[in-house]
Amino acid sequence: MYIVSGSFVCLYILAFLFPVLLPVVNLLFLIFLAVCLADYINLFFICRQPAVRRLISDRLSNGDENRVSIILQNRMKQTMFAELIDELPEQMQERNFLIRRKLAPLEKTNVTYMLRPTERGVYEFGRILLYLQSIVGLLSRRFSISAARDVAVYPSFMHFRQYQLVAQAAQLNEAGAKRIRKIGQSMEFEQIKEYVPGDDIRTINWKATARKGGLMVNSFVEEKSQQVYCILD
């Protein structure tokens, strides 16, 4: 718009020096005003507000890349150009966050970007600002979409899950992580029961066998190692 305005200023200066050009410049200016009027009517009276929605997890992982998606849908049967500004939390210290997209008629697109929080706490996301232009590109209409939301940022649980899997695979032995072995049998007595195929013959209770006249075995309570997590904050 500024370029077009500057061009007309130059044309009128040229027409002042060469008066024969003045009718041509006036005609061009009238055509320009007519196009602007048509673009204004299209944007502010015909154009429908695009559908915009932000998708983000209920919690973010501190120090990691967290995905944020914005669903944007053109509800017009004409090509539109969109400039999208997502009001990020003040902790992100981002002031010129701008996404540009060309939207085909009735197109639905997914705009994705990554955020890396640097401190824990509650992050407040604000509105989504959308500037829409037609294919003419002379005027722009501003839409303000209410999308305020508070998202909690926790210590890096992504790394926590990663090291948990590595520990289970016994790949962190040098770092102190190791596979915990399940204890199959202990000496904690539970009861005496009848022998069934598959029981360990070493657990046969001969005294009870003599009294009952059939094989009896000792049953023990199975012990299991407990998983203990140490979280350093």
d(Cα 17, Cα 14) in Å, to the nearest integer?
5
* Listed range (86-100, 133-147, 160-174) with the worst mean pLDDT: 160-174
Q: What is the pLDDT of residue 92?
A: 81
Helix, strand, coil share of the chain (percent; to 5): 30, 30, 40
User: Is residue 190 scored above 80 in pLDDT?
Assistant: no
160 or 3, higher pLDDT? 3
95, 134 Cβ separation under 8 angstroms: no
- Is the domain 51-158 a CATH 3.40.50.720 member? no
Mean pLDDT, to the nearest integer, of 199-203?
A: 84
On whether the pTM is more than 0.75, the answer is no
Q: What is the pLDDT of residue 195?
A: 87
User: Is residue 16 scored above 50 in pLDDT?
Assistant: yes
pLDDT digit string, tens, across residues 49-68: 999 999 999 999 988 899 99
- Phi then psi dihedrals of residue 128, to 5 deg: -115, 120
Q: What is the pLDDT of residue 165?
A: 52
Give CA angle at 148 (95, 98), nearest 5°: 30
- Phi then psi dihedrals of residue 157, to 5 deg: -80, -15
d(Cα 173, Cα 46) in Å, to the nearest integer?
66
Domain regions of the chain by residue span = 2-46, 51-158, 181-233
d(Cα 86, Cα 79) in Å, to the nearest integer?
22
Q: What is the pLDDT of residue 176?
A: 55
Q: What angle do the packed helices 2-17 and 22-41 form, to 10 degrees?
A: 160
| Chain mean pLDDT for the chain | 83
